[in-house]
Amino acid sequence: MKQNSSISIRLILLNFLEFAVWGAYLTSLGRYLGGIGMGSQIKWFFAMQGIVSIFMPALMGILADRKMQAQKVLSLCHGLAGVSMIAAGVYCMKAGAAIQFAPLFALYSFSVAFFMPTIALVNSVAYNALEKAGMDPVKAFPPIRVFGTVGFIISMLATNFLKIDGVAMQDSFTQLISSGLISIVLCWYALSMPACPTKKNESSSLADSLGLKAFALFKDKQFAIFFIFSMLLGASLQITNGYANTFLGSFGENPEYADTFAVKNSNALISISQLSETLCILLIPFFMKRFGIKKVMLIAMFAWVFRFGFFGLGSPDMPGVLLFILSCIVYGVAFDFFNISGSLYVNENAPKDIRSSAQGLFMLMTNGLGATFGTLAAGAVVDACVYNAAAPSWSTAWYIFAAYAFVVGVLFMLLFKDPAKRQLTKNSIE
């Protein structure tokens, strides 16, 4: 029992630090970039997370499976990601007002290329540690993973409220340096995790390792529809991460709103989204049993409509700020309901021999292809409505995103059929 408690605490710290790295800059980077005159380049920074997610997790996964223990690969990735992110922050500090896109983007891209695989690697390390301790990962891991979200929220709040030389971190390059420093700590800490086995003596094809066999699921009409809509919905995932803080900060140009909480503490306001995530995860079993997978996924899709629509309608003063708060609350439904129910759909309906590969394909379509193309398309919309417009209108951009989510939801409702194994899915939740 004492050993189990010890490993749980160690894994809680591992997950806390993992997502604290991300929370230090993910929701505030857009605000900083907009402040240094790179508002029209925000889309490239967030699209890069999707681009590297297409291939880097698979490559690092192969390395962890065949050549190097997963905890060592995790340490290596965080070391490289941390050093590069610190370098990006130091470059911005030294460049001052002469920051150039190319060197900043290159350093940032190298960092996220090695950070994105760590999310899956942390899960692998945790599952291995729990199994070695004789614990059931299915029961033991979720309470541990919650502390990852806690780490993300605390990191966001620190970035919002802490000031260095009188400048809030959310408006400064210091958010990059702080993220890199946490990565360096995690580089060291990962090596203290229980050793993970490798499969040096097991032969498997490259197609197996990369999960390419799962593409055979596209032969099934309903699976094909599901994966296509996963990509279309994935287009929504990074929009508010990239632009919500920048949008809220833009109200500061109006003296009427400059001193409002929503403008001065936009990262803290956005953190409500992550709090909502934590609570919505607990609601999913109830909704799955009550409504089934298709209706839950539809709830998520139309929640995106409200997520974007409330941003378009809101304002930093009362009562408009309440719409911003509602947008953040709705985010938990929009994000978690689709991601988790979608993962369950894949788990229950994909053949057992390619189930893991199918999960990888689901992530590829949402966080890889969907997020990449969605971020670039959203960037083009923001550029047209805000940065390149004679009369900038953030509201118009948010309404366009809401309309997109609405169309995707309606088409999904019409084209996707409830899976034949609906009852099995319900039982799995129970």
At 408 the three-state DSSP class reads: helix
d(CA 59, CA 70): 12
At 21 the three-state DSSP class reads: helix
pLDDT-derived band of residue 422, with 50, 70 and 90 as boundaries?
very low
Q: How far is CA 155 from CA 161, 239, 271, 311, 393, in A?
A: 10, 20, 10, 23, 30
d(CA 349, CA 355): 9
User: What are the tens digits of pLDDT across the range 277-313?
Assistant: 888 877 877 887 888 888 888 999 999 999 999 999 9
Average pLDDT, the chain: 87
d(CA 344, CA 72): 30
pLDDT-derived band of residue 400, with 50, 70 and 90 as boundaries?
very high
User: What are the tens digits of pLDDT across the range 90-105?
Assistant: 999 999 989 999 999 9
158-162, 194-198, 397-401: range with lowest mean pLDDT: 194-198
Q: So what's the pLDDT on residue 200?
A: 60
Tokens of 35: 């402040």
Q: So what's the pLDDT on residue 1?
A: 54
CA proximity to 176, closest of 129, 226, 111: 111
Answer yes or no: same fold for 1-193 and 211-430. Answer: yes
Q: So what's the pLDDT on residue 12?
A: 95
Q: So what's the pLDDT on residue 424?
A: 36
Task: Detail the DSSP E strand segments found in 238-389.
Answer: none
Q: So what's the pLDDT on residue 212?
A: 67
Q: So what's the pLDDT on residue 199?
A: 66
Write down the CATH number for the domain with range 1-193: 1.20.1250.20
CATH superfamily placement of domain 211-430: MFS general substrate transporter like domains (1.20.1250.20)
User: What are the tens digits of pLDDT across the range 28-68?
Assistant: 999 999 999 999 999 999 999 989 988 888 788 878 777 88
pLDDT of 2 higher than 60: no
Q: What are the residue ranges spanned by the domains of the chain? A: 1-193, 211-430
**Cβ neighbours of residue 211 closer than 8 Å, sequence gap 6 or more:** 58, 356, 357, 358, 360, 361, 364
pTM attached to this predicted model: 0.84
Dihedral, CA of residue 40, residue 52, residue 404 and residue 249, to nearest 10: -40
Average pLDDT over residues 383-390: 92
d(CA 205, CA 211): 10
- φ, ψ dihedrals at 168, nearest 5°: -60, 140
Tokens of 12: 């809680």
pLDDT-derived band of residue 3, with 50, 70 and 90 as boundaries?
low
Average pLDDT over residues 377-387: 94
At 168 the three-state DSSP class reads: strand
Which amino acid is it at 57? P
Average pLDDT over residues 238-265: 91
Average pLDDT over residues 211-215: 70
Q: So what's the pLDDT on residue 309?
A: 96
Task: Tell me if 136 sits within 8 A of 268, measured CB to CB.
Answer: no
Greater pLDDT, 212 or 310: 310
For the chain, how many residues are written?
A: 430
User: What are the tens digits of pLDDT across the range 156-186?
Assistant: 999 999 999 899 999 999 999 999 999 999 9
pLDDT-derived band of residue 76, with 50, 70 and 90 as boundaries?
very high
DSSP letters, 262-294, are HHHTHHHHHHHHHHHHHHHHHHHHHHHHHHHHH
Cα 235–chain centre separation: 12
Burial class (CB in 10 A: 0-12, 13-18, 19+), 219: exposed
pLDDT of 209 higher than 60: no
pLDDT-derived band of residue 430, with 50, 70 and 90 as boundaries?
very low
d(CA 277, CA 334): 9
Q: So what's the pLDDT on residue 356?
A: 62
Q: At which residue do the structure tokens 């369950």 appear?
A: 344
Task: Tell me if 13 sits within 8 A of 144, measured CB to CB.
Answer: no
d(CA 284, CA 300): 11
Tokens of 280: 């919505």
pLDDT of 224 higher than 80: yes
pLDDT of 407 higher than 90: yes
pLDDT of 22 higher than 80: yes
Q: At which residue do the structure tokens 């911003």 appear?
A: 324
